[in-house]
Structure 1
Amino acid sequence: MTGVHETVASLADEVLNGLSGSRTALIYAPNTIGKTRLAQHLKESDPDGVVLYNSFVEDVFTWDNERVVLKMNPESELLETIVTQGLDSAIVDNFRAFTSGKIEPGLDFESGEVNFGIHKGDDSSADGIKISRAEESIFVWSVYYSVLSEAIETLRDNPDLRSTANYDQLTHAVIDDPVSSMDDVRIVSVALALAALIKRASELDLKFVIATHHALFFNVLFNSLRRKSDRAYILARGQIAGWTLSRQSKDSPFSYHLGIIKEINEAISEDAIGRVHFNQFRALLEKTANFLGYTGGWGDLLVGPDAALVTKVLNLYSHDRFADIDTFEVAEEYKDAFRSEFQEFLKAFRWAAAA
C-alpha cells in the first residue's frame, strides 16, 4: 500500500508515476470514493493530452422527450472530432455491435440531434424510438469508443502519413465507469472490446487510466490484459485521512470488501452514515451476487423488512451522476433502514468473521 494522499492532485501524481513503467492503470473503487474527481483532474491538468470519458461526457447528450430525439451539445470536444473526422458511420456500427440489436441511430450534426429507429423494410419498421437507459449509455460509449479507436489507428500510422495531426499530443485515455446501467452481457462486451483496443495501442506511447465501481468490468479487464505492463489498484478513502491506492494482484477485489464491512460497521457505531457507505454497500452487494451466481442481481440479497426502501436509496445514490462530488446529508429514515438491512445481510450471508 502506498501513502495517504490528502489532495486529488497528489493521488493523480501517484497514478501517473505508476504508469511510467506500465501501460494501464485499472482502478477499482465504489462510487463517492473519488473516481470522477480523479478523472476530471487528469483531464484539466492536460487538456490536449487526455481524451476523457466520465459522467460529464454523458451530460453532452440530453433527451427531448416531446420529439423523442437525443440532443447533442455542439460545443463538445468529442462531437467536434466526430464531425471533422467523419466518424458517424463508425458510431452506428459500434452501437449496433455492442447492442447486438436492430436499433439504428441516425446522427444529424446540423440540427445536433440523434434519432433511433428499427429499419427492417416491413411493417415492423419504426422511427422515433425512445431507447432504454442502458442503450443510451451504450450509445454515449460508442461515441467515445469510436473517437478513441480512430485516434489509435491514426497514431499507429507513420507521422508523415497520418490523415490528421489532431491526435499527435494525445498521451492518456482516461475512462471513468462507462458501464453504468448496462447488464452483465453488455458489460463483458464493452470490457473485451476495450481490452482489445488497449492491446492495439501497445506499441504507442499512449497510457490508459480506467476506474470502475463494477466488479465484473474490473475482472474482465484484469483477466483480458494480464501483462506486466498493466497495473491494477484498489482506491480507498478514510473517514478522516485521504486516499490510498493499493496494488491488486488478483482479478477479484474481494478482500477489499472486508475493509468495506469494517468501515461501514464503524460508521454505524459512530452514527456517521453517509452517502459513501450506501455506495460501498451496493458495491459489496454486487460483488457478492456475482460471486454466488445470483442471476436476479444484487437486489435479491436484501432480505430484511426495509429491503424495498434500501434498494430505492441505493439506486438513487449510485446513479447520481455527481455522486463523487455531492456530500448531501442522509435522511434519518434512510440511515435506520440502512442499519437494519446491512445487519440482515451480514447474518444471511455469514459475513460475521469480517464484521
Structure 2
Amino acid sequence: MDHHENIESLAEGLLQNMDGLRSALIYAPNTIGKTRLAQQLKDRSPDAVMLYNSSVEDVFTWDNERVVLKMDLESELPKIIETQGLDGAIIRNFQVFTGDRIEPTLDFTRGEISFGLHTGDDSSVDGIKISRAEESIFIWCVYYTVLSEAIDALSDRPDLRSTSVYDGLTLAVIDDPVSSMDDVRIVSVALALAELIRRAAELDLKFLITTHHALFFNVLFNSFRRNKKDRAYILQRQPVAGWALKVQPNDSPFSYHLGIIEEIGSAISENAIRRIHFNQFRALLEKTANFLGHKGGWGELLTGPDAALLTRVLNLYSHDRFADLESSEVSDEYSDALKGEFQVFLKSFRWGDAA
C-alpha cells in the first residue's frame, strides 16, 4: 500500500505505479480527493492529458429561458469539436447511448445545443428540455467522441495522420462520468469505455479512471480482469496519514466498508461530524445496496425515524459543488439524523461488531 501526504505526491506515485500498465481504475467515495487528483494530473502536463471531470461538465450550462445547453466555445473540447468536425459523431453517439430519437443540434455560432424529438410524424417537436441524466450523457458523449477520434488518429503513422492535434496525448484521465445516470446507461458507458481502452492497446496512451460508483467499478474491473496491464485500486484517506493507494484484487470494493464504518464511528464519538462523513455513509449505503441486490437503490437501506431527512441531506451533499470541502460544518439536526440512521443501519445489517 502506497501512502502520500498530499495530492501532488499521490499523482506522482500513481504515475510511477502506471509504468508498464495500460490503465488504472480507482475506487473512492466522494470527498476523498478524486477530482483534485484528476485536475492535478491535467495541470502537470496540460498537453499530454485529456481530462474528463466536473470542470468539463461546467463547460456546458442549461439555459431554461432559451431551452438550450450553452457551451463555452473557448474551452478545449468545443474547440476540437468544431475544428475537427465531430458534431455528427457526437449526435450519433448520443443517440446510441440514449437509445431514443432525441437529436441534438450543435450551433457553434451561438455556442448552443438544442434538442428535438423526431418521431417521423406530426408529434415531432424541437426545443425540448432534456433530463439531467440525458444532459450528463450528452456531455460524456462530447468527451467520448473526441477521445475516440484521438485513438483513431494516433493509430495511424505520424506522416499519415489527418491532424496533429492529438500527437502529444499520452494519458486520458476520467473522473466519475456517470453522475445522474441509471444503471443501464452506467453499464453502457463502462462497456464503451472498456472498448476504447482495448482499441488503444497498441498505442502509447494510458487511462486513469476514478469512480465512487460500485457498479461502474465492477463492470470495468470485469472487462479488464484478464489483462495484466490493467490494475484496480482503492483510494483511502486518513486525517493524519494522508492518502493510501491499495491494489484491489477482486471485482468489488465492498471490503472498504470497514474503514468507512470506523471513520464515521470515530467522528460520531468525538462529535466531529463533517460533510465528508455524509458522503462516506452514502458510499457505504450504495455498496451495501449493490452487494445485496436492492433494485430500489441505497435509499431502501435507511429505515430509521430520520430516513426521509437524511436521504435529502445525502443527495444534497453528494451533488454540492463544494462537497470536497471536508471541513465544512453541518447543522445539529443533520448530525443527529446521521447518528441515528447510522446506528440503525449497523444494527439492521449486523455491522455492529465492525464498528
TM-score scaled by length of structure 1:
0.98
Show CA shifts across 1:221-270 (max 9, x none): 00001111011100011122211100001010111111111111111111
**TM-align CA RMSD:** 0.9
C-alpha contact 1:29 1:212 (8 A) present in aligned 2: yes
Partner residue, 1:252: 252
Aligned positions, number: 354
Match of 1:182 in 2: 181
Cross-structure match for 1:242: 242
**Aligned position for 1:336:** 336
2:276–2:326 Cα contact (<8 Å) kept: no
Residue pairs, 1:125-204, within 5 angstroms: 125-204=124-203
CA distance in 1, matches of 2:4, 2:292: 35
Displacement of 1:159 in angstroms is 1.0
Aligned to 1:9: 8
Runs of 4+ more than 4 Å apart: none
Q: Which runs of 5+ in 2 are unaligned?
A: none
| 1:22 pairs with 2:16 | no
Q: What SS does the aligned partner of 1:67 have?
A: coil
Amino acid at match of 1:111: R
**Would you say 1:296 and 2:281 are equivalent positions?**
no
TM-score, structure 2 as length reference? 0.98
2:52–2:143 CA contact under 8 A, matched in 1: yes
How many Å separate the matches in 1 of 2:131 and 2:19? 40
The residue type paired with residue 337 of structure 1 is A
Q: Which secondary structure does the structure 1 equivalent of 2:18 belong to?
A: helix
Q: Distance in 2 between matches of 1:320 and 1:213?
A: 15
Within a 5 Å distance, the mapping from 1:1-355 to structure 2 comes to 1-2=1-2, 4-226=3-225, 227-325=227-325, 327-355=327-355
Q: What letter corresponds to residue 147 of structure 1 in structure 2?
A: V
Q: CA deviation at 1:29?
A: 0.3
Q: CA deviation at 1:67?
A: 1.0
CA distance in structure 1 between the partners assigned to 2:276 and 2:232 by the alignment = 22
SS at match of 1:106: strand
Distance in 2 (alpha carbons) for counterparts of 1:322 and 1:22: 33
Does the 8 A contact of 1:35 with 1:324 survive in 2? no
* Structure 1 position 70, deviation (Å): 0.5
The whole-number CA distance in structure 2 between the counterparts of 1:70 and 1:23 is: 35
Long gaps (5+) in structure 1: none
Aligned with 2:73: secondary structure?
coil
What's the % identity of the aligned pairs?
Answer: 73
The answer to whether the 8 Å contact 1:102/1:118 transfers is yes
* In structure 1, C-alpha distance between the alignment counterparts of 2:261 and 2:171, rounded to whole Å: 34
